[in-house]
Amino acid sequence: MLCLLSMAVQATVYKWVDKDGNVHYSDQPHTNAQQVQLGSNTDNQLSMAPVPSIPAATTTSTENKPRYQVSIISPEHEQTIRDNAGDFTVSGTVQPSLASGHYLQLYIDGVATTDAQHSTVFALNNIDRGEHRLQLKVVQQNGKILASSSEITIFLHQAGLIKPAFPAPGVKNRKG
């Protein structure tokens, strides 16, 4: 097949001049056409330089995205927070700095409870007392999670509203 294809490439070229003086070339014979003898310098021979191979690791789209390290620095894991209003602040770190379109979001007990923001400080208000799990996540505008901190547990204590009606009986000092 390859030999037949190469023979077709070497087809004969015909030249003729029409009644208006226009010169025409064709691979089909025409009346008053002359066969054109092609020299060796008219052969079309193309050679391409070898294409360098690109390692697969550089073609992935994750190479263009920063790899974030996210952590919560305050409060500490298993810290007890005492606040009757349920207000406290969560501070974190992220390295490298957030790229355009990337945000931090705080999750409490697995639920995103704050809006995504660029700041690493989250002021929380009116959180119920009890045990809570906190986690910071780097998210894109479309909601895709790029990185997450380790989950920490905190304990929020609030003073109870129920007070005993009577003081607890004490031990009386008896003489005698």
> pLDDT per residue over 98-107, tens digit each?
998 999 999 9
Residue 133 has pLDDT above 90, yes or no: yes
Residues 6 or more apart whose CB falls under 8 angstroms from that of 163 comprise none
Question: How many folded domains does the chain comprise?
Answer: 2
Mark whether 145 and 101 lie in a shared domain. Answer: yes
Q: Please check whether residue 91 lies inside any domain of the structure.
A: yes
Q: Please check whether residue 49 lies inside any domain of the structure.
A: no
Structure confidence at residue 60 (pLDDT)? 46
Least confident of 2-6, 36-40, 96-100, 139-143: 2-6
Q: For the residues 129-149, what does the mean pLDDT come to? A: 92
Helix (H, G, I), strand (E, B) or coil at 16: strand
Q: Please check whether residue 55 lies inside any domain of the structure.
A: no
Q: CA 15, CA 13: separation in Å to the nearest integer?
A: 7
Q: Please check whether residue 54 lies inside any domain of the structure.
A: no
Structure confidence at residue 6 (pLDDT)? 47
Mark whether 82 and 139 lie in a shared domain. Answer: yes
Residue 174 has pLDDT above 70, yes or no: no
CB 155 within 8 A of CB 79: yes
If one compares 122 and 28, the residue with the highest pLDDT of the two is 122
Q: Give which of 102, 106, 101 is closest to 91, Cα–Cα.
A: 106
- HEC secondary structure over 59-96: HCHHHHCCCCEEEEEECCCCEEEECCCCCEEEEEEEEC
Q: What is the mean pLDDT of the chain?
A: 80
Q: Please check whether residue 47 lies inside any domain of the structure.
A: no
Mark whether 34 and 98 lie in a shared domain. Answer: no
Mark whether 74 and 126 lie in a shared domain. Answer: yes
Domain that holds residue 28: 2-38
Mark whether 73 and 150 lie in a shared domain. Answer: yes
Mark whether 82 and 147 lie in a shared domain. Answer: yes
Mark whether 78 and 139 lie in a shared domain. Answer: yes
If one compares 107 and 54, the residue with the highest pLDDT of the two is 107
Q: Please check whether residue 103 lies inside any domain of the structure.
A: yes
Q: Please check whether residue 56 lies inside any domain of the structure.
A: no
Mark whether 90 and 143 lie in a shared domain. Answer: yes
Structure confidence at residue 59 (pLDDT)? 46
CATH number of the domain residue 141 falls in: 2.60.40.10
Mark whether 131 and 87 lie in a shared domain. Answer: yes
Q: Please check whether residue 125 lies inside any domain of the structure.
A: yes
Mark whether 134 and 73 lie in a shared domain. Answer: yes
